Structure 1
Amino acid sequence: MPNYRCILAALDLSEEADAVLERATAMASAENAALHLVHVVEPLNLAYGGDIPMDFSSVQEQLQTQAEESLHQHAKRANVDLANCHLLSGRPDAQVHELCQTLKADLIIVGSHGRKGLALLLGSTANGVLHGATCDVLAVRVGQNK
């Protein structure tokens, strides 16, 4: 079994993030590993196709502020140093991969949705993280049918 030194937990900041954070905290403690938390805010123009003729900059700023507050609350509950919290913007899977490389993380922990059927095993972000990762990925089953 590998000895992990740096664990990156990707949180979506929903209620389901608590299950991912709980597993990440337990793994980091058991492995005596550094724990980093990341949340990626997807720009509204990416999420909605980029062809919307409106300025969403104030809404985007509010989303960033709310995400930062929530990420810090999760970090405090898990005793994770705020210096190990990363709030990024862009495509979630690409940003997680890039941060993983920067941190030299050897394990990424993400949430997966417990829907039935192989095609619905992972959400699109978790699936993207899994398929582009250069290290181990642990998908924590969250949501339905636990």
Structure 2
Amino acid sequence: MLYHRIILAVDLTDESIKVANKAASLCQATGAELTILHVIESLNYAYGGDVPIDITDIQTQLQETAKERMSILEAQIDVAKKETCVTQGGIESEIHRIAEEKQADLIVVGSHCRHGLALLLGSTANGVLHGAPCDVLAVRVTKD
């Protein structure tokens, strides 16, 4: 199966380049268009709307930092057609929403090796897999 539109969902950690390189390789092999996506989990969403202070400045700063890091990541990968998107909300639901909006054939996410309690509670990659509108590739990333 050839892919035409790939969503690369990154958390902007140092390991993101490994996941990005895998997505770039797939794009080069299939001629697919790439959308690089980062979701900032809204503090209101993360805390169930019970944030007693005005978090507008914090959210704005998170957006600016994410856009800067996305520019750096975008410059590090070699793909002809690419678009970046920084959005805010629930991580899995936003990845699903953007994948549907872009009519993606594949979502590429990093899968960190989790152990213990983190493994039992699940991961973002697992959350993306369930309910995704297309194929999902979880790229195993480890700290070197």
Aligned equivalents of 1:135, 1:96: Cα separation in 2: 11
Q: 1:26 to 1:19 in 2, by over 3 A?
A: same
Structure 2: tracts of 5 or more residues without a match: none
Aligned equivalents of 1:107, 1:52: Cα separation in 2: 35
% identical aligned pairs: 45
The answer (yes or no) to whether the contact 1:112–1:121 under 8 Å persists in 2 is: no
Structure 1: tracts of 5 or more residues without a match: none
The answer (yes or no) to whether the contact 1:11–1:37 under 8 Å persists in 2 is: yes
The answer (yes or no) to whether the contact 2:43–2:51 under 8 Å persists in 1 is: no
Using structure 1 for the length normalisation, give the TM-score: 0.88
Alignment correspondent of 1:46: 45
Q: How many residues align?
A: 143
> How big is the alpha-carbon RMSD for the aligned residues of Structure 1 and Structure 2?
2.2
Alignment correspondent of 2:112: 113
Alignment correspondent of 2:95: 96
Q: CA deviation at 1:123?
A: 5.1
Greater mean alpha carbon deviation, residues 10-19 or residues 43-52: 43-52
Q: CA deviation at 1:116?
A: 4.6
Alignment correspondent of 2:60: 61
Aligned equivalents of 2:66, 2:51: Cα separation in 1: 23
Deviations 1:12-63 (A, max 9, x none): 0011111110111111111111111000111112223322211111111100
Query: Which residue identity is paired with 2:51?
Result: I
Alignment correspondent of 1:75: 74
Using structure 2 for the length normalisation, give the TM-score: 0.89
Q: Secondary structure, in 3 states, of the residue corresponding to 1:109?
A: strand
Aligned equivalents of 1:70, 1:99: Cα separation in 2: 19
The answer (yes or no) to whether the contact 2:39–2:88 under 8 Å persists in 1 is: yes
Query: Which residue identity is paired with 2:35?
Result: H
Aligned equivalents of 1:78, 1:132: Cα separation in 2: 28
The answer (yes or no) to whether the contact 1:43–1:89 under 8 Å persists in 2 is: yes
